[in-house]
Amino acid sequence: MVDDIIAAMVIIASAVVVITVGAATNRDGDDYRSIIAMEVSTVVMVKRR
């Protein structure tokens, strides 16, 4: 249970960094949206273990 929470926190933090960097560099929103989708699917995979 604790591992799930830690994994989720790490992934959320990395997603926030990706959004911030993406906004700072004025990239297309699709770039970081697809990365977040990957992060979310990673969380789902971790929780299924």
Domain that residue 16 falls in: 2-48
Q: In whole angstroms, give the CA distance from residue 23 to residue 5.
A: 27
The pLDDT of residue 20 is: 76
Number of domains, the chain: 1
| pTM score, whole prediction | 0.43
Token pair for 27: 């990239």
Distance CA 21, CA 27 (A): 9
> 30 vs 37, which has greater pLDDT?
37
Task: Return the higher-pLDDT residue of 5 and 38.
Answer: 5
What is the DSSP code (8-state) at residue 49? -
Higher pLDDT, 34 or 26: 34
Considering the chain, what is the average pLDDT of its residues? 74
Assess whether pLDDT exceeds 80 at residue 4. Answer: yes
pLDDT over threshold 60, residue 48: yes
How many CA atoms, within 13 angstroms, populate the side-chain half-sphere of residue 15? 17
